[in-house]
Amino acid sequence: MKAIPWWAVAAASAAPVLVIGGFLVATAMQPASYDPVRDTISELAWPRATDAWVMNSAIAGVGVCYLLGALGLQAAGGVGRVLLATGGVATLFIAVFRQPRSGYSLAHELAVIVTAATCSTWSAFASHRRHPALLLTRTPSLLATGLSVGLVLWYALESDGALLGVSERCAAAVPPLWLLAVVVTTRRSLAHREAVHGPPGTTSPEGWTRGMISP
């Protein structure tokens, strides 16, 4: 099994910084009429927002990070990686198809829906019944998916509610934080296993094949 490359770790580390840092910085630039408890992240990237490029660039950067994470996390299940990559593309579409100054953008809303659906569920499909990396096993992966889906449902139920902004920020922050945790712990687990047993197929092949991965 190939080790997780440094650039995948860098991408996974950048994703939560871009999401959380992006909406914090962009919020600070808005007039007092903008309420982060009620108002959405998408409004920070609207053409009428103050310095909309800040949030829009952050969103696009997160999309690239998801794509790189999906490419580098080869220890994860294939379906989960495809979902994560799909979420990356959809996130890029969020940045491309911004909400207009007035009215409604179907393309933007569809991109948000696809991003929410894929980025909240990818970990369940990336997991294995057994794996040396704890966060790639079933139980923690399903718990992470349950939390992410629950936050997405909260966001959906808020709709025009008073906590719409808070629910969206929570739903947006959890997937990149989980990706970072998975990439870092998986890389360490594989490095430790290689240090103990040697590279796969060399000094101790049975240590890599027996109980290594069960789909």
3 C-beta neighbours (distance < 10 Å), count: 15
Helix, strand, coil percentages in the chain from 3-state DSSP, rounded to 5: 70, 0, 30
Q: Is 213 inside a domain boundary?
A: no
Tell me the β-bridge partners of 128.
137
Q: Is 205 inside a domain boundary?
A: no
* pLDDT confidence bin for 73, thresholds 50/70/90: very high
Residue 168 structural domain: 6-197
Q: Is 139 inside a domain boundary?
A: yes
Q: Is 208 inside a domain boundary?
A: no
Average pLDDT over residues 162-191: 94
pLDDT at residue 210 in the model: 44
3-state SS class at 41 = coil
Q: Which has the closest alpha carbon to 191: 78, 75, 76?
A: 75
Q: Is 190 inside a domain boundary?
A: yes
* pLDDT confidence bin for 48, thresholds 50/70/90: confident
Q: Which has the closest alpha carbon to 180: 20, 8, 64, 12?
A: 12
Q: Is 36 inside a domain boundary?
A: yes
Question: What is the domain count for the chain?
Answer: 1
Q: Which has the closest alpha carbon to 150: 179, 177, 174, 184?
A: 174
Q: Are 212 and 131 in contact (CB under 8 A)?
A: yes
How far apart (Å, rounded) are the C-alpha atoms in residues 4 and 73? 6
Asked if residue 171 has pLDDT above 80, the reply is yes
Average pLDDT, the chain: 89
Q: Is 115 inside a domain boundary?
A: yes
Average pLDDT over residues 162-177: 96
pLDDT at residue 104 in the model: 73
pLDDT at residue 209 in the model: 39
* pLDDT confidence bin for 178, thresholds 50/70/90: very high
pLDDT digits (tens, 9 = 90+) for 189-213: 888 776 665 555 544 444 433 445 5
Q: Is 214 inside a domain boundary?
A: no
